Amino acid sequence: MLPIDFLPGARRDFDDSLDWYAERSKQASVRFAGAVDAAPSPIAAHPKRFAAVDDLHRECPVGQFPFRIVYRVGAECIVVVAVAHAKRRPKFWKDRI
Digit-by-digit pLDDT tens for the chain (97 residues) are: 889 999 999 999 999 999 999 999 999 999 999 999 999 999 999 999 999 999 999 999 999 999 999 999 998 999 999 999 988 887 889 888 7
Residue 77 CB coordination number (10 Å):
14
CB of 82 closer than 8 Å to CB of 70: yes
Long-range contacts of 55-63 (CB under 8 A, 24+ apart): 57/81, 59/84, 61/86, 62/32, 62/35, 62/36, 63/31, 63/34, 63/35, 63/38, 63/39
pLDDT of 97 reads 73
Q: What is the pLDDT of residue 46?
A: 92
Which of the 8 DSSP states describes residue 27? Answer: H
- Can you name the CATH fold of 4-85? YaeB-like fold (3.30.2310)
Q: Where are the domains of the chain?
A: 4-85
**What is the structure's pLDDT at 28?**
96
Closest of 2, 53, 26, 46 to residue 18, by C-alpha? 26
Counting Cα atoms < 13 Å in the Cβ hemisphere of 58 gives: 18
